Amino acid sequence: MAVEHPTLELRGITKRFGALVANDHIDLEVRAGEIHCLLGENGAGKSTLMNVLYGLYHAEEGEILLDGAPQRFAGPGDAMHAGIGMVHQHFMLIPVFTVAENVLLGHERALGGLAGAKQKVREISQRFGFHIDPDARIEDLPVGVQQRVEIIKALSQDAKVLVFDEPTAVLTPQETDELMAIMQQLRDEGTAIVFITHKLREVRAIADRITVIRLGKVVGEASPQSSSTELASMMVGRPVELTVHKRPPVLTDNRLEVTGLTVLDAIGQKVVNDVSFTVQGGEVLCVAGVQGNGQTELTEAILGLQPRATGSIDLNGNELLGDSVREVLDAGVGFVPEDRKVDGLVGDFTIAENLMLDRYRGAPFVSAGTIDRGARDEFATEKLGAFDIRAQGIDTHVGTLSGGNQQKVVLARELGRPLSLFVASQPTRGLDVGSIEFVHSQIIATRDAGIPVIVVSTELDEVVGLADRIAVMYRGGVVGIVPADTSRDILGLMMAGERPAGIPAPTPSKGAAA
Amino acid sequence: MTAQQPTTQAPAQAETVELERAVVKHWKAPISYAVLTLVALLLTVVLGRDGSATLRLASSGDLFQLPDAVLPARATGIVIVILLAALTALSFWAAATARRLGVWLPIVFGVLFVVAFLTWAGAGSMIPIAGLLFATVGLSVPLILGAMGGVLSERAGVVNIAIEAQLLGGAFTGAVVASATGSTLVGVVAAMLASVLVSMVLAVFAIRYFVEQVIVGVVLNVLVAGLTNFFYSSVLTDNPALNSPVRLPKIPIPLLESIPLIGPALFKQTIIVYAMYVIVPLIAWGLFKTTWGLRLRAIGEHPMAADTVGIKVNRLRFWNVALAGAVAGLGGAYFTLDSNGSFTREMTAGLGYIALAAVIFGQWHPIKATLAALLFGFASALQQTLGAIGSPVPSEFMLMLPYVITLLAVAGFIGRSRPPAASGKPYVKQ
Amino acid sequence: MNDRPRDADDPMEPAAQQRPGGSPDSGVAPAVVHAPEAAEVAAPAVVVPTDDRRVEHEDPWGSAFRRIMGGNLVMAVLAIITSLVVGGILIAATDERVQETSGYFFARPGDTLAAAWDAVGGAYWALFQGSILNVSRADAGFAQLIKPLTDTLNFATPLIAAGLGVAIAFRVGLFNIGGRGQMLWAAAAAGWVGYSFALPPVLHVLVAIAAGIAAGAIWGGIAGAFKAYTGAHEVIVTIMLNFVALWFITWMLRTPGLLQNPGSNNPISPPMAETAVLPSIFGPPFILHWGFVLSVAAVIFCSWLINRSNIGFQFRAVGYNANAALNAGMDVKRLTVYAMLFAGGFMGLAGAQQVTGAVTTGFTSGIDAGIGFDAITVALLGGSTPWGTFFAGLLFGAFKAGGFRMQAAEGVPIDIILVVQSFIVLFIAAPPLVRAMFGLPQPGRKSRRQLRDEAAIADATKAKGAQS
């Protein structure tokens, strides 16, 4: 399909946020009938670029051309009219509306009212073999189906260019495969597709062209035949070494035994379904799985944050289930939450205050109901050095720190008291490579100190690097617990909910956990 | 990638399979019914009163005269308590088996409870039901229009605590402008415009300056009370001519006004009330059946999603909040141009807050909010009626009723109140 | 906003990665203000079923907080000046002489302006004399000269206490609009103790005030419990509880045998026993009573509570980020109740001061005198800090004291004070508006030059980083 002009062309797009240059003279070309991957780390500026393209942001410099004609987008409405459709990372769907209402919104006249929208939904569903009821409410639909509604929404506007912004983050490997099939079908129909991701395997599987961006700049184009290592080093800018150096585990008597743990959510769904496992002191159990398969709820249940949990969580003979968070922490559980800014830190507090956040009662920081500022500051100063937290001082507000330094504050706090269990959820999400190495070394040091460690991660590389054993979760249940040297293919299958031959089934709850 | 090709069949099914569910039982509703049944038992049996209550259903201009309903207090009470107990039991059974019952249950329960209460309170005297209904409508009009203002504004994503200010501003301006121009209709329009102005201040601070909307609302209530008091003291008291508008005439609708029981209450009213009859269904239809409504609800639920399909969120919010003001302003005009005839200090007396309560109890739905406002209006009308016949219940407790009901509603004991998701949150974009 | 709202990733990350390689010289990212609003609207569309033990991710008060905390003195002063100007315009507009002279404005505009100047100047001069120094009676002695100042302190007394009741709730992320109800219950309890018991002088008044504080705390705590255990919004709950309290107290006041003064047909309580009246600090002619000292003590206590105590630490943690507090083992629900107990307690002090200090001849259901709402403006102007609330209380106390004189001497209705007060809060809450009015630079919106400089610095830093 050689056309004179590419369907979409971006020239010298520059977007600044204050002192930060999120996009620095970015050029990009997408032709009809090709899938162009935009590869880059979290925060490299991919989403910003697409928001500029979609008219949500206004670029300071540069121009957007469609079929060779320069465009000016005052808002997303203009971009849509020009033929750009977007499948957003966080679905832009109104939960209490029906599918048809969501498709109709903003295009009431063009679609000819609700009846027209329903017709359109049926039409497109049929074309792609979706089974979607136009009258279903979005909030009642599973995530994968919601994404299809996003796609239908974009297609209902006859988009020439379709942008998929990190579409696989919320999908299982199976759903990912199906999505890719859809993307290929769209490509074959002549749509120009921009596929934004940081997952190398997906890029290599589907891309026709690859543009890598880093720190807001285009680093270069890569061929789909490039190896993962090549792509990764382009993406992060230096050869990455994700191997974690660790000695064989030395098991100790410390022991966490989870038996038959079931967690219900507010509407009664079993988000964690009869999970049993054991972690011993001196080993790391990694919980792998696609985001949203119950890992979050599992760790929260251990911490006492899930009210509707049944079963048993036994730490060295001490039943934790039913205890309050306070009691769990006092039992010696250290916890690194999945989202440090939401759950781990108080951004408006200083580093010193955050370091005593979960020790607000009694010694060493509180006496007679009053905070001992001397003891607090002394502790903070020590940890600032020990954990290499780069900040002006202990009075710096945590909200102004970089992600890596924020995570170090969390670690310094959680590892700063005597522990009998350490749980880390997505401990390196969104961190730079240097910080990742530091976090990993701290986790291994904790393990080597004889403490049972649970690490939840959606990144297979991290799981394989850290784990002594791997538990794979799918739809709330544990598919199986396998050794750390299990192949990625098998792990991938397990993440899709299948148990390949030779993998033992997890022990039923009534039996002895192993 | 290829190594991960699924080996099982029917992958498409995988995503439609829902997580396993456990049965969740809801006990709040049956417990609420049980408590109310106990209250009824306490009133009608334990504290039972002798004598009969005469419910006068007829009024003078009726097409045909309905006979009085004479209900022996104690016997009626016992029968109704038994019925209430049966309904409560039904509700417990439904909860235990995780079944859902229709909306008829709360309605039947409510009507029975009210009848039980009326016969108990009115034992030995006569209650003019037609008059009660007439008063109910009269007291409900500003509540309903205020609540519509609240519904529109909050559905668009702007919390409207300032209903009180909108009503008060409308009442004051309506009185002054109608007096000054001599035209009541001009007064009505001016009342609406004044209220729109209050709304616009709310909207500008909420949308443009991202000020916490509750703060703006509360401050606007104080500001408008202060302003109207100031002008009342400094201008109106010296110039009574500026505070003597010609009231709107009652326009009886032939035939309809003679329907027994409800005729006079509904069809012998002023233009404001008739306008309300049109406005409420219009809003309900518009919200759920038109493009305007679709977009309005969208910006109140998920403004960013609306933005991504090209809807100008903040502009739309601004104008809809202004529209909400216009509707509430009509309610304000009702005070000075219909029910009262002149402005007095802080004459809305907290009714704006009852309207807010109706919005919440009515789950941000125009029809339900109207019913809630009617219920609250009925409670105050009942309080007045019982006050006249010598009520066994202190009038203050009747006056408290709307607030207590709303407290129970927001606490989840009555119905489920979920506000529009983005209500109260400013929409900020780069 | 500076953030890229639709990216779930750490918004600090791009800043951190701006320094390439492993050569960060400082871990502090450039001040990227993370706006809570942006994060809220960016919340994923996927509806996560709510879990009542998890606190909502959104922090509805976050923005208000930041604004309240970030308010500086300059903005406060500008807001006050602007509001006084608005008040002046209203005074001039309703002045009869101004109206008369404006009839021939274009012929002799000087007359109108002079009249306006007289009206506004006279009113504000009366305001000053009524609240600070009574210059016109300076010859009557020092006591008469400074009496207005003590009147100001007198009016400020309940405003400060009630302001604390709003401020402390604010710090926990709660909006206490329930001052009226809490004060009414406090007044009823303190009043009842005050007139129905016979106790020794000092003890009696202290017991009465303690009863008031307890009653206010309970009514506040009920609101807190609604919020904590049912998830009901505290704004709605406190508003509704205000009216419930109002009607309940009204009923008690008109019911013989409860709070009604025996022999009276009006809804009014018996007068306080003399032992239950807060004595004047300086004696006649000054009316300033010891309640002011209690308010100062309350400020000191509140300051310790918020800034130094471990419960205050938890309060602030919950107010800033309830989820992190939950993860740190704090019992957010219980803290919510505690916070409203304290808030109601401070309101209760204000209510008790009213019956034991201001109106000792028997109280009615109007005893709260609008202080519950004034308290919101006091706390907002005071930036929700204890000492800020103190000074804001003094200012509004001065307005009240002066307002009465202004009404008596110049015939300007005291309601103008309410108007000025409301404008102050509106302006305080919207700094960009005030900045725009005074032509000050907007910090969020940078000037072209600032942007250019920043870009240059960023480029330089990057170049340096690339070399290393």
Q: Which residue of C has its CA nearest to B426?
A: C37
Q: A89 lies in a domain?
A: yes
Which among C42, C313, C327 is the nearest to A360, CB-wise? C313
Tell if the CB–CB gap between A16 and C325 is shorter than 8 Å.
no
Tell if the CB–CB gap between A326 and C330 is shorter than 8 Å.
yes
Which among A92, A202, A498 is the nearest to B305, CB-wise? A92
A112 torsion bin: left (phi>0), alpha (psi -120 to 50), beta (else): left
C111 touches chain B (CB under 8 A): no
pLDDT greater than 80 at residue C29: no
Kindly list the residues from chain C whose CB atom is less than 8 angstroms away from the CB atom of residue B211.
Answer: 64, 67, 426, 429-430
Final residue belonging to a domain, choices A221, A236, A251: A236
Final residue belonging to a domain, choices A236, A259, A288: A236
Least confident of A113-122, A129-138, B83-92, C93-102: C93-102
CATH number for the domain including A436?
A: 3.40.50.300
Phi, psi at B53, each rounded to 5°: -100, 130
The reply to whether A158 and A193 lie within a common domain is: yes
Kindly list the residues from chain B whose CB atom is less than 8 angstroms away from the CB atom of residue A88.
Answer: 308
The reply to whether A291 and A203 lie within a common domain is: no
- How sure is the predictor about A275, in pLDDT bands with cuts at 50, 70 and 90? very high
Tell if the CB–CB gap between B311 and A80 is shorter than 8 Å.
no
Terminal C-alpha separation, chain A: 58
- CB-facing half-sphere around the CA of A355: CA atoms within 13 A: 31
The reply to whether A251 and A104 lie within a common domain is: no
Which among B11, B22, B297 is the nearest to A268, CB-wise? B22
Q: A383 lies in a domain?
A: no
Distances (CA, A) of C428 to B84, B220, C80, C127, C400: 54, 14, 9, 22, 20
The reply to whether A15 and A146 lie within a common domain is: yes
Contact of B302 with B142, CB cutoff 8 Å: no
- 235-254 of C, contacting B, C-beta below 8 A: 235-237, 239-241, 243-244, 247-248, 250-251
Quote the domain boundaries for residue A26. Answer: 8-236
Instruction: Determine the Cα–Cα distance for residues B405 and B420; give it in Å rounded to an integer.
Output: 21
Q: Which residue of B has its CA nearest to C435?
A: B209
Instruction: Determine the Cα–Cα distance for residues A292 and A413; give it in Å rounded to an integer.
Output: 27
Final residue belonging to a domain, choices A211, A236, A261: A236
Q: Which of C1, C2, C3, C10 to mutate to test the interface with A (most CBs of A within 10 A)?
A: C10
State the pLDDT at residue B177: 96
The reply to whether A210 and A265 lie within a common domain is: no
State the pLDDT at residue A446: 94
State the pLDDT at residue B22: 62
Q: A365 lies in a domain?
A: no
What is the average per-residue pLDDT within C251-264? 90
Closest CA to B321 of B117, B152, B78: B152
Three-state SS string over C335-364 comes to HHHHHHHHHHHHHHHHHHHHHHHHCCCCCC
Strand, coil or helix: C411? coil
Ordered structural domains, chain C, with CATH = 132-413 (1.10.3470)
What is the average per-residue pLDDT within A35-64? 85
State the pLDDT at residue B414: 65
Q: A72 lies in a domain?
A: yes
Kindly list the residues from chain B whose CB atom is less than 8 angstroms away from the CB atom of residue A296.
Answer: none
The reply to whether A212 and A250 lie within a common domain is: no
Which chains have 3+ CB pairs within 8 A of B? Answer: A, C
Tell if the CB–CB gap between A492 and B5 is shorter than 8 Å.
no
Terminal C-alpha separation, chain C: 32
Q: A397 lies in a domain?
A: no
Contact of A373 with C304, CB cutoff 8 Å: no
pLDDT greater than 50 at residue B12: no
User: pTM of the predicted model, to two decimals?
Assistant: 0.84
Ordered structural domains, chain B, with CATH = 28-124 (no CATH), 133-391 (1.10.3470)
| Mean pLDDT computed over every residue of chain A | 87
Contact of A12 with A25, CB cutoff 8 Å: yes
The reply to whether A122 and A137 lie within a common domain is: yes
The reply to whether A467 and A508 lie within a common domain is: yes
Phi, psi at B157, each rounded to 5°: 100, 15
The reply to whether A99 and A219 lie within a common domain is: yes
Q: A122 lies in a domain?
A: yes
DSSP string, B11-43: HHHHTTSPPPB------HHHHHHHHHHHHHHII
Kindly list the residues from chain B whose CB atom is less than 8 angstroms away from the CB atom of residue C45.
Answer: 302, 305
The reply to whether A208 and A257 lie within a common domain is: no
Contact of B159 with B214, CB cutoff 8 Å: yes
Instruction: Write the CB contacts of A254 (distance below 8 Å, at least 6 apart in sequence).
Output: A280, A281, A282, A316, A420, A421, A450, A451, A452
Contact of B341 with B184, CB cutoff 8 Å: no
Tell if the CB–CB gap between B291 and A108 is shorter than 8 Å.
yes
The reply to whether A112 and A214 lie within a common domain is: yes
Predicted confidence (pLDDT) per residue in A282-314, tens digit = 999 999 987 778 899 999 999 999 988 999 999
The reply to whether A154 and A219 lie within a common domain is: yes
pLDDT greater than 50 at residue B5: no
Number of separate domains in chain A = 2
Tell if the CB–CB gap between A106 and B311 is shorter than 8 Å.
yes
pLDDT greater than 60 at residue A7: yes
What is the average per-residue pLDDT within C85-102? 88
ipTM attached to this prediction: 0.85
Strand, coil or helix: A261? strand
State the pLDDT at residue C139: 83
Instruction: Determine the Cα–Cα distance for residues B152 and B320; give it in Å rounded to an integer.
Output: 7
Q: A507 lies in a domain?
A: yes
Beta bridge partners of A477: A474
- How sure is the predictor about B20, in pLDDT bands with cuts at 50, 70 and 90? low
Predicted confidence (pLDDT) per residue in A466-514, tens digit = 999 999 998 889 999 999 888 877 887 888 778 877 777 775 554 333 3
Kindly list the residues from chain B whose CB atom is less than 8 angstroms away from the CB atom of residue A493.
Answer: 4, 7
Instruction: Write the CB contacts of B137 (distance below 8 Å, at least 6 apart in sequence).
Output: B265, B266, B269, B273, B374, B377
pLDDT more than 90, % of chain C: 54
Which chains have 3+ CB pairs within 8 A of A? Answer: B, C
What is the average per-residue pLDDT within A423-438? 85
Predicted confidence (pLDDT) per residue in B388-419, tens digit = 887 778 889 888 888 988 888 888 776 666 78
pLDDT more than 70, % of chain B: 93
A270 torsion bin: left (phi>0), alpha (psi -120 to 50), beta (else): beta
Phi, psi at C127, each rounded to 5°: -60, -45
Which among B7, B16, B312 is the nearest to A498, CB-wise? B7
Closest CA to C347 of C169, C126, C105, C90: C169
Q: A189 lies in a domain?
A: yes
